[in-house]
Amino acid sequence: MQFILDSQNEKKGSQFQDTFHGCYDYHSNRYMLSSWIWCSGLAIRALVSEWDRTSRSAYRKSAIRCGKKLLQLQHDNGAFTVRWDFPRNSPTGIQKWEAPNDSAFIAANGLLPLYRVTGESRYLDGAKDVAAWILDEGMRSNGQLGIGRSNEWDFSWLYVDAGFTTDLFYRLYEIDGEERWRDACERFVKWFVDNLYDGNGSFKKTWYADGEDDRSSYTRGQGWALDGLISAYQLLHNDQLRDIIEEVAMWVVDRQCDNGSWLYATDNSHNGEDNKATPLLAYELLRAEKVLDDATFLPTVRTAIQWCEDAQHYSDRGGYGGIRAWNIEGTIVGNRNTTTAFLYGNAYYILAKNGYLTAVG
């Protein structure tokens, strides 16, 4: 938890003050990716989880500070600018992402947990505004999601992380029972499965309208798919979804490394051990275990959690407690050879560890 607390942006005057940095770079010894505010949603959820468990006031204060800031950053139409990128081909040098999936991630993991523990309706209203924006602008009638970049919509491709959008619809339906959330979940998950599932236990990394779909060996993508499938199943109770959850869960279990980690890509060991995928998959396997009533996943979860704990960095130089590893994802900080720790990796570790302890009694 110390890594998460230390990741909070304390820079006065920053538009991202009180949200969380997305990662720590152990080469330059600094927190980075301050504009990736979508990660802050899961940080709040981990803080609330520990607040529930320990009643420690520091977790409560940190979560509420971030939640208040997120509401300030939310647009009038309900969307979030979830991150700022700096692509070489952008005419302005900067690209703002208003992505439905990542906005839903903020709402489901950040705003709704704060609504639960504070009872303040502004958090629920913010989450509903996100969902309404998705239905009004970001989703076609067939359930396909788009990507918003610099105020322009693109429906020509979709990344597998869109899967976790269903979690917001599921959680809102649990609160207010509005049929529009159930309908949106049903339409989207059908499109998602029809267009990204390969039929053999894994999901493609990216769908393209021209048919040039990306590979299915992208490990972390299976966690994002499971997240959405499980939430959709909990709402819809569709047997086909249950079968796919089981197929994907077994695909994941079969590809765990002997040391408990998962590789960034299962077909390329040179891409490194994935310190984002490993805690994410541990958490999603716990959720799958409940859906499938299959405790055989628990040893896999236990070894994944142990790998995360063995990989944690303990030094007074910075990044204390981060799940540190090298993989190709580290290039997002501008250095291919650095080791990094990611905010949402640590957050998923907390959720997985607490979930595992509950499961084993």
pLDDT of 77 higher than 70:
yes
Name the phi and psi angles at 268, rounded to 5.
Answer: -150, 95
Name the phi and psi angles at 263, rounded to 5.
Answer: -75, 160
Classify residue 158 by its DSSP letter. E
In what side-by-side order are the strands of the sheet with 23-25? 30-32, 23-25, 340-342
Q: Which domains does the chain have, with CATH numbers?
A: 1-356 (1.50.10.10)
Contact 32, 349 (CB under 8 A): no
Burial of 193 (0-12, 13-18, 19+ CB in 10 A): buried
pLDDT in tens, 262-292: 999 988 888 899 999 999 999 999 999 999 9
Q: How far is CA 180 from CA 134, 220, 300, in A?
A: 12, 30, 37
CB atoms within 10 A of CB 230: 26
Q: Which of 194, 125, 196, 134 is nearest to 166 (CA)?
A: 134
pLDDT in tens, 178-217: 999 999 999 999 999 999 999 999 999 999 999 887 766 8
pLDDT in tens, 6-53: 999 999 999 999 999 999 999 999 999 999 999 999 999 999 999 999
CB atoms within 10 A of CB 4: 25
pTM for the model stands at 0.96
Mean pLDDT (whole number) for 280-308:
97
pLDDT of 120 higher than 90:
yes
- The pLDDT, as a whole number, for residue 274 is 95
**Token pair for residue 297?**
């996943």
CA 300 to chain centroid: 20
Contact 110, 41 (CB under 8 A): yes
Q: How far apart are CA 345 and CA 326, in angstroms?
A: 13
Question: CB-based contacts of 265: which residues, under 8 Å, 6+ apart?
Answer: 215, 217, 218, 219, 271
Amino acid 82 reads: V
- The pLDDT, as a whole number, for residue 281 is 99
